[in-house]
């Protein structure tokens, strides 16, 4: 049976995990083409609508507004209410202290209007002298969510001024009562909150109104998810991580080179162990010597190599395993032995390409118990049980995803792995109906939960999950189907793991940056570029994202 998404997932319902998610949605909404000015207009209009409906007899309204976006929402509400009511706006602070362009714009509109009287209160004595008895309703637009610590100074005085007039005058709050959850807090009759019910904030009545957030923001990977991880952790050697790459073979030496080239600009050191005699791909990559096998020569890795590499495995901050490795019995046995060591060390790692074929359900022939999806908690080494956070990132394409699904769920759900939307890399795209995107996202979540790993299913839309929630990345270009781009992705994810980025965020960051780099190259040369070109362009694209300069997703006259 196809894994059905929950109703919440199918509808794309917005529910953040915390206030940081809301800030992320704001930035990602802009990247998608939804302007903050639009959201502020919708929020202020929603507040005005509630007042007009719930308090029809309120003919004189006082708006107390702060200098942030909560105040900006209040400015918009004041403009709409002034059509048929008397509205006075009290800016708690000075006009030059208004923070955002959107709030400044809406303040300028009401300040220039003869229908709204605006007064700036720049001193605490001015706020304490405020008399609100003549008004039928007070609108609290002082402070929004995300307040750190108790209100002080002007804001404390304004909150106390509002509360002095309760319960004689009804008070409506924008988003949530100012000061909440600290003291003092505005004693509001109701808060008009946006998009979700803010149930994490208790103690006040609320009315929920949508303001136009795109439902996909709850799952989308955008610049706001990536940018926090692009700053280097320090300016000294050793503070940005060491990455060990175990990849390649005598037949496929290039895959290891691409992974190393992609990772090198983002970490302190890249150590590369690969069979064969190919020279290091760059002076920045440190080769790890592998002696010839008995009888001379070396075609691939061997289980005996684990002992030779033990000191490197212990010293590395993260490991990439698999690109170009080959699927010989010796190579796959080597992978299983390495995975057991990494689990015991609790070392973050990426399992890519051929190494994915070493993963088998526990109890099957040749498998390691701690490697498969059914490994028991008591047998998992060093805290690697079901309750521990995943340290492993799996990066299958569509066919490899189907194989992992079959291995994890076996014949009981065989119809699932036969579905083309699980097995085909290109069956899901930006024009796919949301229900199908959500179904594949939920399937990715279930697979990640089963394997106790972060799963990044590569495709036209990359699906990413840690087994708790799923996300999707829509950056990318058809040129990324070129051989080797998956090796670049594996190396880049490994680099962010080495820098201490959690596995889910490292996978999202890698997928977003590689996809955006492909788009950037396509604008310059069309789809005819190589994986090496992607690796070479990654630093420039990454810096653009870090500066907040990621190109918007839509062509619009509102974006330069």
**Is 70 among the annotated ligand-binding positions?**
yes
Domain tally for the chain?
2
Is 270 inside a domain boundary? yes
Residue 141: which CATH number?
3.40.50.10260
Same domain, 43 and 175: yes
Same domain, 296 and 329: yes
pLDDT at 8: 31
Quick one: CA torsion of 542, 543, 546, 551, rounded to 10 degrees? -70
State whether residue 365 is helix, strand or coil: coil
**Is 113 among the annotated ligand-binding positions?**
no
Is 556 inside a domain boundary? no
pLDDT at 296: 65
Q: Between these two residues, 250 and 366, which has the higher pLDDT value?
A: 250
**Is 467 among the annotated ligand-binding positions?**
no
Separation in Å, CA 550 to CA 489, 538, 542: 19, 13, 9
Pairing between β-strand 171-174 and β-strand 190-194 as defined by DSSP bridges = parallel
Structure confidence at residue 449 as a pLDDT band (50, 70, 90):
very high
Same domain, 240 and 351: yes
Same domain, 418 and 507: yes
**Is 150 among the annotated ligand-binding positions?**
yes
Is 20 inside a domain boundary? no
**Is 366 among the annotated ligand-binding positions?**
no
pLDDT at 167: 78
pLDDT at 81: 98
Of 383, 391, 248, 257, give the one whose Cα is nearest residue 318. Answer: 391
Q: Which tokens is 420 given? A: 């083309």
Provide the residue range defining the domain that includes 168.
35-212
Query: Taking 70 as the threshold, does the pLDDT of residue 430 lie above it?
Result: no
Is 8 inside a domain boundary? no
- Which residue carries 């619009």 as its tokens? 556
Residue 533: which CATH number?
3.40.1190.20
**Is 144 among the annotated ligand-binding positions?**
yes
Query: Taking 70 as the threshold, does the pLDDT of residue 427 lie above it?
Result: no
Same domain, 233 and 196: no
**Is 486 among the annotated ligand-binding positions?**
yes
Same domain, 297 and 198: no
**Is 238 among the annotated ligand-binding positions?**
no
* 147 touches 164 (CB < 8 A): no
Is 560 inside a domain boundary? no
Query: Taking 70 as the threshold, does the pLDDT of residue 495 lie above it?
Result: yes
For residue 86, the cross-strand partners are 60
271-275-279 Cα angle (round to 5): 65
Is 552 inside a domain boundary? no
Same domain, 143 and 244: no
Same domain, 46 and 194: yes
Q: Between these two residues, 120 and 426, which has the higher pLDDT value?
A: 120
Query: Taking 60 as the threshold, does the pLDDT of residue 415 lie above it?
Result: no
Same domain, 308 and 233: yes
**Is 73 among the annotated ligand-binding positions?**
yes
State whether residue 120 is helix, strand or coil: strand
Is 255 inside a domain boundary? yes
**Is 69 among the annotated ligand-binding positions?**
yes
Q: How far apart are CA 38 and CA 36, in angstroms?
A: 5
What mean pLDDT comes out for the span 109-123?
96
Last residue of a domain, one of 212, 245, 260: 212
State whether residue 350 is helix, strand or coil: strand
Same domain, 168 and 315: no
Query: Taking 60 as the threshold, does the pLDDT of residue 5 lie above it?
Result: no
Same domain, 174 and 248: no
* Whether the predicted model's global pTM rises above the 0.75 cut: yes
For residue 62, the cross-strand partners are 88, 138
Of 144, 152, 52, give the one whose Cα is nearest residue 103. Answer: 144
**Is 84 among the annotated ligand-binding positions?**
no
Is 555 inside a domain boundary? no
Structure confidence at residue 7 as a pLDDT band (50, 70, 90):
very low
Same domain, 207 and 244: no
């Amino acid at each position: 049976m196809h894994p059905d998404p929950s109703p919440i997932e199918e509808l794309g319902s917005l529910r953040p995990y915390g206030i940081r998610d809301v800030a992320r949605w704001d930035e990602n909404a802009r990247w998608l083409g939804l302007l903050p000015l639009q959201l502020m207009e919708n929020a202020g209009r929603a507040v005005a609508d509630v007042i007009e409906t719930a308090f029809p007899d309120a003919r004189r309204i006082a708006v107390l507004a702060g200098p942030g976006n909560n105040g900006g929402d209040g400015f918009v509400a004041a403009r709409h209410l002034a059509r048929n009511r008397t509205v006075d706006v009290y800016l708690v602070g000075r006009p030059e202290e208004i923070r955002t362009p959107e709030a400044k714009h809406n303040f300028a509109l009401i300040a220039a209007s003869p229908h709204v009287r605006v007064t700036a209160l720049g001193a605490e004595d001015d706020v304490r002298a405020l008399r609100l008895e003549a008004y039928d309703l007070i609108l609290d637009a002082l402070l929004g969510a995300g307040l750190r610590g108790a209100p002080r100074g002007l804001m404390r005085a304004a909150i106390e001024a509002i509360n002095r007039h309760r319960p004689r005058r009804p008070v409506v709050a924008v988003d949530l009562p100012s000061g909440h959850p600290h003291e003092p807090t505005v004693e509001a009759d109701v808060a008009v909150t946006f998009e979700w019910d803010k149930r994490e904030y208790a103690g006040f009545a609320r009315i929920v109104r949508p303001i136009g957030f795109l439902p996909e923001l709850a799952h989308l990977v955008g610049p706001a998810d990536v940018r926090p991880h692009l700053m280097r952790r320090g300016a000294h050697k050793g503070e940005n991580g060491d990455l060990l790459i175990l990849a390649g073979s005598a037949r496929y030496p290039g895959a290891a080179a691409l992974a190393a080239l992609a990772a090198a600009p983002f970490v302190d050191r890249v150590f590369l162990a690969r069979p064969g005699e190919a020279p290091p791909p760059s002076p920045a990559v440190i080769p790890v010597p592998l002696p010839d096998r008995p009888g001379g020569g070396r075609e691939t890795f061997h289980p005996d190599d684990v002992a030779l590499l033990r000191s490197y495995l212990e010293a590395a901050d993260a490991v990439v395993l698999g690109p170009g490795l080959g699927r010989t019995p010796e190579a796959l046995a080597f992978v299983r032995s390495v995975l057991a060591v990494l689990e015991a060390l609790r070392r973050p790692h990426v399992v890519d390409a051929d190494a994915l074929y070493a993963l088998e359900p526990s109890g099957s022939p040749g498998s390691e118990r701690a490697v498969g999806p059914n490994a028991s908690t008591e047998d998992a080494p060093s805290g690697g049980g079901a309750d521990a956070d995943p340290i492993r990132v799996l990066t299958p394409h569509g066919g490899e995803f189907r194989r992992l699904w079959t291995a994890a769920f076996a014949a009981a759900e065989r119809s699932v792995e036969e579905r083309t939307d699980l097995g085909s890399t290109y069956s899901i795209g930006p024009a796919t109906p949301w229900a199908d995107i959500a179904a594949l996202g939920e399937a990715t979540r279930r697979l990640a939960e089963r394997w106790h790993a972060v799963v990044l299913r590569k495709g036209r839309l990359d699906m990413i999950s840690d087994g708790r929630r799923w996300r999707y990345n829509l950056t990318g270009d058809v040129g990324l189907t070129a051989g080797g781009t998956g090796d670049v992705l594996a190396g880049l994810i490994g680099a962010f793991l080495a820098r201490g980025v959690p596995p889910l965020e490292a996978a999202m960051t890698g997928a977003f940056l590689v996809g955006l780099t492909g788009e950037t190259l396509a604008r310059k040369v069309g789809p005819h570029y190589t994986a090496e070109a992607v690796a070479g362009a990654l630093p420039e694209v990454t810096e653009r994202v870090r500066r907040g300069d990621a190109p918007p997703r839509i062509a619009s006259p509102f974006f330069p």
